[in-house]
Amino acid sequence: MRTNFMKTIGLALFITLLMPAGMLFAKESVQATGLTSNTSNWYDVEEASNLLNRMQTLALNARNAIGQIQVAETDLGWQIQAVKLDRARNNVNKMGEDLVRLDEISSKVEPWQQRLIHKVSPRVHEMAYQLDAAINSLNQYQSKDHLALTEYPQNINMIYRDANQMSDAIGTVTQYAHAEQKMAALNSISSTNAGS
């Protein structure tokens, strides 16, 4: 019996020696989630959040303008379609301006914001390209029959899709990041209270 006891103590001692000393005496700390960065600047993080939220709204506006053409493209006159395309273009141009500013401050924002900026950037460029193509087609062929034979319907569908996906991505990632940050703050509070 004493032999088994000595073996158990020897094994425990062996395992203890293999563990880093910091693990034995360290308090449990909140693990980094990849949502925060030591190089982020509070002002830039807030500005990026505001710009991303505005881009989400602009994407919804562009989607809604294009959606009216998409649903009723054979029923709307070319003049009405031109007005809707112009509204969408104004929203996409504003997104482009916001994207320029986001690129300028991207090194000083949170990692999740950096990833989101890289995710939405190609969508803004693609929407601008598709809008130019759609506007050129509409200017060249003002007849519904001619427009149906061009890339115009595909341009409209792609703009709608990109605007919708961009809006969804910004909303989803932003909500997830805020939920993770709240959980990290709660964990920090509870670990601080447990240590007291």
Work out the average pLDDT over 88-113.
95
Radius of gyration of the chain (CA): 27
| Residue 33: pLDDT band with limits 50, 70, 90 | very low
**Which pLDDT belongs to residue 128?**
97
| Cβ-proximal residues to 163 (8 Å cutoff; 6+ apart), any chain | 59, 60, 62, 63, 66, 88, 123, 127
**Model-level pTM?**
0.72
Distance CA 44, CA 17 (A): 46
As a whole number, the mean pLDDT across the chain is: 81
**Mean pLDDT throughout 8-32?**
45
CATH of 42-181, one of 1.20.120.230, 1.10.10.10, 3.40.50.2300, 1.25.40.80: 1.20.120.230
pLDDT at 179 over 80: yes
The pLDDT of residue 177 is: 83
What percentage of the chain reaches a pLDDT higher than 90? 53
User: What are the sequence ranges of the domains in the chain?
Assistant: 42-181
Determine the pLDDT at residue 39.
62
The confidence band for 9, taking pLDDT boundaries of 50, 70 and 90, is low
Amino acid identity, position 137: S
Q: What are phi and psi of 132, to 5 degrees?
A: -60, -45
What is each CA distance from 154 to 8, 70, 94, 95, 145, in whole angstroms?
Answer: 72, 10, 23, 22, 15
Confidence at residue 109, expressed as pLDDT on a 0 to 100 scale:
94
Q: Distance between CA atoms of 99 and 78, rounded to whole angstroms?
A: 31
